[in-house]
């Protein structure tokens, strides 16, 4: 008489210990992250609600396709542009200016504006271009 053993190969994996380890590591990670973010508590000073005149505000000079110049969004002539830029320079001597010229305008218009920047001694100057997408 032969006894058949009902032994099957062990093919199930017990994932409970792995999940326990994952949860412990997750809790440790959360505690360490929040502890490093909190840092040292200090009493920060309160700022006034009045806008600071020394805060740099970038002025944009746009030259449209028809040659019309704009300071921010307001149309100006070259003499009006000079007057307004002088006023801004009196308040903040180091304010930045960007020039946006349409691709179809005459190059002379951009040079006129850049000459004006040199005449007013505005040194923080940028030219806006479009990124070429290939």
Q: What pLDDT, in 10s, does the model give residues 104-114?
A: 787 788 888 88
Domain 59-127 has CATH 3.30.420.270: yes
pLDDT band for position 122 (50/70/90)?
Answer: confident
The residues with which 63 forms a beta bridge, in sequence order, are 69, 101
The CA distance from 13 to 99, in Å, is 67
Q: What angle do CA 53, 59, 65 make, to 5 degrees?
A: 165
pLDDT, greater one: 21 or 3: 21
Q: Where are the alpha helices (DSSP H) in 39-96?
A: 78-91
Question: What does the pLDDT average to over 64-92?
Answer: 87
The predicted pLDDT at position 100 comes to: 85
Question: What does the pLDDT average to over 45-61?
Answer: 65
pLDDT for residue 72 is more than 70: yes
């Amino acid at each position: 008489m032969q006894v058949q053993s009902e032994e099957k190969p062990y093919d199930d994996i017990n994932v409970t210990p792995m999940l326990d380890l994952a949860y412990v590591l997750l809790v440790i990670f959360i505690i360490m992250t929040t502890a490093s973010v909190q840092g040292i508590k200090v009493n920060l000073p309160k700022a006034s609600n009045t806008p600071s005149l020394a805060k740099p505000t970038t002025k944009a000079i746009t030259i449209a396709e028809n040659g019309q110049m704009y300071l921010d969004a307001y149309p100006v002539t070259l003499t009006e542009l000079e007057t307004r830029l002088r006023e801004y320079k009196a308040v903040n001597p180091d304010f930045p200016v960007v020039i946006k010229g349409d691709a179809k305008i005459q190059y002379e218009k951009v040079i006129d504006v850049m000459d004006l920047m040199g005449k007013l001694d505005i040194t923080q100057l940028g030219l806006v271009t479009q990124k070429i997408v290939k």
